[in-house]
Chains A and B, each alone.
Chain A
Amino acid sequence: MEYIDQKFEDVVKEYSTMVYRLAFAKTGNKFDADEVFQEVFLRYVKKNPVFNDKEHQKAWLIKVTVNCSKKLLKSSWNTKTLPLETADVFTMEEYIDLHYELALLPHNYREVIHLFYYEDMSIEGIAKLLNRKKSTVRTQLTRARGMLKKYIKEEDYV
């Protein structure tokens, strides 16, 4: 009775936070992040992908999270409605401000910031994962840093 693959349990254990935070970074609110979160793990189960190693698995989940977020953001519902405020997630003023600053970033800059500063990925790694040119990722990262200059200083560029 193979109804729940054991792999799924491991996946949730390891990656639920990663997936959720990336979805939140990309969509900017917890309601959409919830939806993306479910969609990613449902896709995981439906596709039942075979991975070469952990890195491959992590990359697959990041890629699918970005794609699901994109799909959600493109949907007619999201293009015609404004996201609900989710600043109540944060209690410290510093984080509330940062949340609003991040929300002003274009969507495709947000994942670059998140993958670079939270997942500690290199520009090359992000480019490979998101199927973008390295120069594109570098430009997006530079522009995002510029928009977040209140928070990101020159010493943060590495």
Chain B
Amino acid sequence: MFRDTYKSYNERIVPSNELIADTVIKVSSVNTKNTLHINRRYKKILVAAALIVFVSVIATLPTFAVQFDPIYELMYYFSPRFAQLYSPVNESSTSNDVKMDVLACYVHEDTIEIYVTMQDLTGERFSGGVDLNDSYSVNVPYDCSSNCRLVSYDDNTKTAGFLITVSQWGDKDIVGDKVTFTVNDIITDKKVYSMNIPIDLREVSIVGNTQKVYVNSENLAEEDYYTDVLVSTAPYEEFLVDGVDLTGIGYVDGKLHIQYRVKDYLENDNHGKFYFIKTVDDVSDTIFAEKNYRFTDNNIAYFESVFDISKEQLGNSKLYCEFFSTGENIEGKWKVTFSIENKGDYLPTEEDEVCLSYDIDLSDIKFMNIGAELPELLYADEETVIIHGACGVIVYDLNERMIVNRISDDYLKQRGIFCAKACTSIDGRDIYITDADEMMHSSSNEISIYKYNVILRTLSQRKGLLEDVFPKQQFGFSEKDKNYIDENKLTGSISVRRDNDFIFLQADKNWNMNSLQIVICDFNTGKKEIIDVFE
């Protein structure tokens, strides 16, 4: 019968997984554009969510049972080639109304990477700040180090995606054909604080009353012991961290003590640290605590940091903190056993290209310190200024008066660049980034260089010669130009000359990144146009 033959012929004709994934992504983008109330910052989440939808669609389609690659979710987070190394797992486990799906894994040498989603089936407990609270494990036989990163969150389905990396110590390959992955605890509403605490440090004084308590030292070599600590005061209103109170600042025996408390400390993981940034004659120095104590009183934990900073130094300093706070704990027993295959070494020899998101997150800038040096002016023309510093690589559009591209330091760290060095092509279309450590220590002439195309927003990696892309010299100010520098500001060492003016960077002497400015200065008149980069 022709009907049977024709139907059988058609059985061979199926849309590829890649085609469906690509269609789902394009559809999500169409919907994003058409939905006016959606902020651009959610685009990254949308793409991830669209891909999660793709996973659920494909997983239920027998037609596509030939090969299903859930790793396309990762495709836009890392790169297509990276994603292709993952093998589908698609095993799930539900406990305490949270469903864990192990979607894909990639085993290479001593490392196993697992992509997992956790979905709150009640729809009421998850927020963007979901964390596995270090409660995950993979049953590998040797000691190992591990890392868990939240890579996507879909508020619509209350689903968080995590990429978990576990590496065995001692270069021992992952062997065997199965592993078991478990999670025991999830924390929600995790918040990260990194900020200046606006306390008038001139009012800090010697403490009259102290208390002697039995403290746990953070130094494992030391025994616990009795020592004098601050008597807790009413919480400082200037300190705004959920679940944490700042309960004392003062000098004890010539050292500055700062105390915070965490209530119900057994039920949460709220913690953090304080530090000072001291600035004298435009030179900044960060001062960390020399000792940290912890003592408890019923269900309250007190943490006290001791600083070697004099009253005089305090006058030139600002107090900063980095804190983490968490919401609800969800305990459960999530356990999945799945097959693995060690794929050996992963060598990124081919060009590996990824398109960066249009979502430009500047939320970290407000509390960011400039660091050791003012950001470097890499390039400037009539339309574009390109900057590199602790804020990452920034592309500023002079026409639109806005930041149009950013590659943050965090993103570069994810790609293994911990100490970035950057420059641009002559036309400013491409930004080249490499790791300064690799530049210094590589025995090979060729090093890994990332090229970011400003127009296409694509980031690609290749091996290359340093001198091919990085300029041998940069330009400072002419003697005449120096007359126009504002001495009350920090000023960059590089200027770019245009037809009638020159451009340079400046910032306030409080070393706050948020104060970074682009200055366009007329050669002849000295008239300046000043643009706040992060306004």
- A positions within 8 Å CB-CB of B: 1-5, 8-9, 12-13, 16-17, 20-21, 24-25, 30, 33-34, 37-38, 41-42, 45-46, 89-90, 94-95, 98-99, 113, 117-118, 120, 148, 151-153, 155-156
B15 contacts A34, C-beta separation under 8 Å: yes
6 cross-chain pairs, A with B, having the tightest CB-CB distances, nearest first? A156-B2, A20-B15, A152-B2, A117-B6, A3-B31, A24-B13
Q: Give 19 A-B pairs besides A37-B19, A99-B9, A155-B1 with Cβ atoms closer than 8 angstroms.
A: A2-B35, A3-B42, A5-B31, A8-B27, A12-B23, A12-B57, A16-B61, A17-B14, A30-B13, A33-B13, A34-B16, A37-B23, A45-B30, A45-B31, A46-B30, A90-B12, A117-B3, A118-B10, A148-B2
Complex Cα gap A38–B2 (Å): 30
A-B contact pairs, 5 of them (CB 8 A): A1-B42, A3-B50, A4-B50, A5-B31, A38-B26
Q: Which of A9, A99, A118 interacts with B53 by CB under 8 Å?
A: A9
* B interface bracket (residues with beta carbon within 8 Å of A): 35 or more
Measured between beta carbons, the chain A residues less than 8 angstroms from B14 are: 17, 20
Report yes or no: A42 in contact with B10, Cβ–Cβ below 8 A: no
Q: Is the interface of B mostly helix, strand, loop or mixed?
A: helix
Complex CA distance for A150 and B2, rounded to whole angstroms: 10
Residue of A nearest to B27 (CB): A45
A38 to B27, CA, bound (A): 9
B63 engages A17 (CB within 8 Å): yes
The CA of A45 and the CA of B25, in the complex, are separated in Å by: 12
B524, CB-defined interface residue at 8 Å: no
Q: Which of A1, A12, A46 contacts B156 (CB 8 A)?
A: A1
**Chain B proximity of A105: nearest CB distance (Å):** 12
Cβ-defined contact, A95 with B12, below 8 A: yes
Most B CB within 10 A of own CB, among A1, A5, A46, A90: A1
Complexed CA–CA distance, A153 and B4 (Å): 13
State which of A3, A5, A94, A148 has its C-beta within 8 Å of the C-beta of B32. Answer: A3
Q: Which of chain A's residues have a CB closer than 8 A to the CB of B22?
A: 38
Tell yes or no: B95 within 8 A of A by CB: no
User: In whole angstroms, how far apart are the Cα atoms of A1 and B32 in the complex?
Assistant: 9
Instruction: Select which of B2, B46, B56, B60 is within 8 A of A3 by beta carbon.
Output: B46
Which chain A residues border B50 with CB–CB below 8 Å?
3-4
How near does chain B come to A53, taking the closest CB pair, in angstroms?
Answer: 22
Give the distance in Å from the alpha carbon of A29 to the alpha carbon of B51 in the complex: 27
Is there contact, CB below 8 Å, between B53 and A4?
A: yes
> B359 at interface (Cβ–Cβ under 8 A)?
no
Q: Contact: A118 with B56, CB < 8 Å?
A: no
Asked whether B140 is an interface residue with its Cβ less than 8 Å from the other chain, the reply is: no
Interface assignment of B145: CB less than 8 Å from any CB of chain A:
no
Distance from A18 Cβ to chain B, minimum over Cβ atoms (Å): 10
Q: Is the CB of A13 within 8 A of B35?
A: no
Q: For the complex, is B38 an interface residue (Cβ under 8 Å from A)?
A: yes
Dominant secondary structure at the A interface: helix
Q: Cβ of B13 and Cβ of A9 under 8 Å apart? A: no
Contact of B28 with A118 in the complex, beta carbons under 8 Å: no
Given contacts A41-B27, A98-B5, contact A89 B12 (CB under 8 A): yes
- Given A37-B19, A38-B19, A90:B9 Cβ within 8 A: yes
- Contact assessment for A3 and B38 in the assembled complex, using a CB-CB cutoff below 8 Å: yes
B19 to chain A: closest CB distance in Å?
Answer: 5
Of A4, A13, A21, the residue contacting B27 (CB under 8 A) is A4
In whole angstroms, how far apart are the Cα atoms of A156 and B172 in the complex? Answer: 64
Knowing A1-B156, A117-B6 are in contact, say whether A12-B20 is a contact too (CB < 8 A): yes
Given A12-B57, A34-B15, A156-B1, answer yes or no on A118-B6 (Cβ-Cβ < 8 Å): yes
In angstroms, Cα B14 to Cα A34, docked, is: 10
Supposing A4-B50, A42-B30 touch, asked if A89 and B13 sit within 8 A by C-beta, the answer is: yes
On whether the beta carbons of A3 and B19 are closer than 8 Å, the reply is: no
Q: How far, in angstroms, from A156 to B26 measured CA to CA in the complex? A: 41
B500 within 8 A of A: no
With contacts A9-B56, A152-B2, A153-B2 taken as known, whether A4 is within 8 angstroms of B28 at the C-beta atoms is: yes
Count chain B CB atoms within 10 A of each CB in A2, A20, A153 and give the residue with the most.
Answer: A20
Q: Which residues of chain A are within 8 angstroms of B521 by Cβ–Cβ distance? A: none
Contact of B35 among A3, A24, A118, A148 (CB under 8 A): A3
The reply on B488 being an interface residue by CB < 8 A is no
Chain A proximity of B69: nearest CB distance (Å): 16
CB distance from B408 to the nearest CB of A (A): 24
| CB neighbours of A33 from chain B (8 A) | 13, 15
Among candidates A12, A90, A117, residue contacting B7 with C-beta atoms closer than 8 Å: A117
B269 proximity list for chain A (CB < 8 A):
none
CB of A13 within 8 A of CB of B9, answer: no
In the complex, whether B24 has a CB less than 8 A from a CB of chain A is yes
Please give, as numbers and ranges, the residues of chain A lying within 8 Å of B6 by CB-CB distance: 98, 113, 117-118, 151
For residue B148, give the distance in angstroms from its CB to the closest CB of chain A. 25
Residues of B near A4 (CB, < 8 A) are: 24, 27-28, 31, 46, 49-50, 53
Closest partner residue, chain A, to B39 (CB atom): A1
Contact indicator A3/B49 (Cβ below 8 Å) = yes
B341 at the A interface (CB under 8 A): no
B53 CB contacts on chain A under 8 angstroms:
4, 8-9
Residues of B within 8 A of A38 (CB): 19, 22-23, 26
A13→B61 contact, CB < 8 A:
yes
Residues of A within 8 A of B23 (CB): 12, 37-38, 41-42
Contact: B60 with A98, CB < 8 Å?
no
Question: Bound complex: CA of A42 vs CA of B33, how far in Å?
Answer: 13
